[in-house]
A = this chain, B = another copy of it.
Amino acid sequence: MEIVTIETTGRNQMIDITSTVRAYVKRSGIKDGVCFVFVPHTTAAVTINENADPDVVHDILSTLSKLVPYKDNYRHIEGNSDAHVKASLMGNTATVIVSNGDLVLGTWQSLFFCEFDGPRRRRLMIKAVGDN
């Protein structure tokens, strides 16, 4: 397992971590297996989506904020309940098949770290299992 630190700069932000995860898989020596990306936070998440057009990320984040508004009749006094809800909706794990020592992703797929209560210093855990 490897732990990576990520510095986020906005309250809501999606950061492409594909090259980070890909580099880890190569270092791990796993040729054939599965790679898990785990976010150890409750107001951040990980997802797979398109990075070719940055407007996709914009639309994902703005739709999420429309569905789960920053300010609402929340009870949690820290003021970040929206981020907790978004984290559970998006999920805190990504699972990617590893083949020939590399991530198997579709043409338009990128892995994104999703910040919903930044800016913060965050961590990401990556682990590949399988055969060398």
What is A's interface to B at a CB cutoff of 8 Å?
A: 1, 33-34, 36, 38-42, 47-50, 53, 55-56, 58-60, 62-64, 67-68, 72-78, 81, 84-85, 87-97, 99, 104-109, 123, 125, 127, 129-130
Contact = CB atoms under 8 A, between A and B. Distances in A.
B1 A97 contact: yes
B42 A49 contact: yes
29 contacts: A1-B104, A33-B129, A34-B127, A34-B129, A36-B97, A42-B49, A42-B106, A42-B108, A42-B109, A47-B91, A49-B84, A49-B87, A53-B77, A53-B78, A55-B74, A55-B76, A56-B84, A59-B75, A59-B76, A59-B85, A60-B81, A63-B85, A67-B67, A89-B89, A89-B90, A92-B109, A93-B94, A104-B125, A129-B129
